[in-house]
Amino acid sequence: MTEERASPESRGPGRPSWLHEPCPEWCTRVHRESDHPEDRRHQDDGVAIAAVAGDVDPDTLTIHPRSTELTVRRFLPVGPPHRSWWQIEDSEGRSSRLLLSDESARALLAVLTDRIR
């Protein structure tokens, strides 16, 4: 399913009454007056990454690799606290999603950059 892209109305003067702050540059989400309070967030389109993930057999601890696609998406809930989040999820829905704050994403990036050579 393709999400609708943000229009000038959702980002400009005709934006919903609950949206008091401007959208970040990266926000592509359409904001509507009728958005449920839990759905009120800034969000980008995400980036799909071809990946090899593994499933672990709980009895033998054998890793079973499989091809998949991961989606990395940034979002920022509307209103305080103003904390940006990174969501990484298996596009096939086979694994749970990982949700990281900016600080945690930077720490993960540093560890991966340091350890993968």
pLDDT tens for 56-98 read 899 999 999 989 899 999 999 998 878 899 999 987 766 668 9
For residue 12, what is the DSSP state? S
> ω before 22 within 30° of 0 (cis)?
no
Q: Hey, what are 88's tokens? A: 């990484």
Q: What percent of the chain has pLDDT over 90?
A: 60
Letter for the amino acid at 79? G
Domain boundaries, the chain: 8-115
| Residue 53, pLDDT score | 87
The string of DSSP letters for 20-84 reads -SPPPTT--BPP-TT--GGG-EEE---EEEEEEEEEE-TTT--EEEEEEEEEEEEEEESSSS---
Check: CB of residue 43 under 8 Å from CB of residue 24. no
Q: What is the pTM of this model?
A: 0.74
